[in-house]
Amino acid sequence: MSKSASEQYRTPLSRARGLGASRHGVGHFITERVSGLALIPLSIWGVYAALKLVGADQHSVTTWIGQPVNAVLLSLLLIAALIHLQHAVQVVIEDYIHRFTSKSALVIGNLFVCVLAGAVGVFSILKVALTVTGAH
């Protein structure tokens, strides 16, 4: 393999500098933008749903979640929001926390909070949707 003349004489530091965000930055950026766009209709639906469910008791809410369209949209809203926020909050952490150990701990903690909230939320929605009786 022959290297081009400019590659041959570059120092390791010079080469590392050219890599930028380890070539992962664009994936993060696109995930944030696409999930942000998905959240425009989903969160408007979420506000509409919240207004419909104001003051409703648990029975009415389970009946509402028992309708497949509501269970699916509610799960999508929660998952899209958590993916979006996990990425967004990671950037905030990386902007302000510079010590490697604290930064890593917070980035990992952020991921765990989001995955846990998603698992609890989606499991609860499914449990209600699949066990509710009398909803068609």
The answer to the question of residue 124 lying near other proteins (CB under 8 A) is yes
The answer to the question of residue 134 lying near other proteins (CB under 8 A) is no
The answer to the question of residue 125 lying near other proteins (CB under 8 A) is yes
In terms of CB distance, is 7 or 127 closer to other proteins? Answer: 127
Cα 68–Cα 63–Cα 46 angle in degrees, nearest 5: 65
- C-alpha closest to that of 101 among 89, 93, 112: 93
Interacting span for other proteins (CB under 8 A) from 4-12, 18-26, 55-63, 99-107: 55-63
**How far lies 58's CA from each of 71, 75, 105, 118, 129, in Å?**
15, 18, 38, 21, 13
Q: Closest approach of Cβ 8 to other proteins, in Å?
A: 30
Report the SS3 class of residue 132.
coil
The answer to the question of residue 103 lying near other proteins (CB under 8 A) is no
How would you classify residue 52: left for phi > 0, otherwise alpha for psi between -120 and 50, otherwise beta? alpha
Give the binding site for other proteins (CB under 8 A): 33, 36-37, 39-40, 43-44, 46-47, 50-52, 54-55, 57-59, 61-62, 65, 74, 77-78, 81-82, 85, 88-89, 92, 113-114, 117-118, 120-125, 127-128
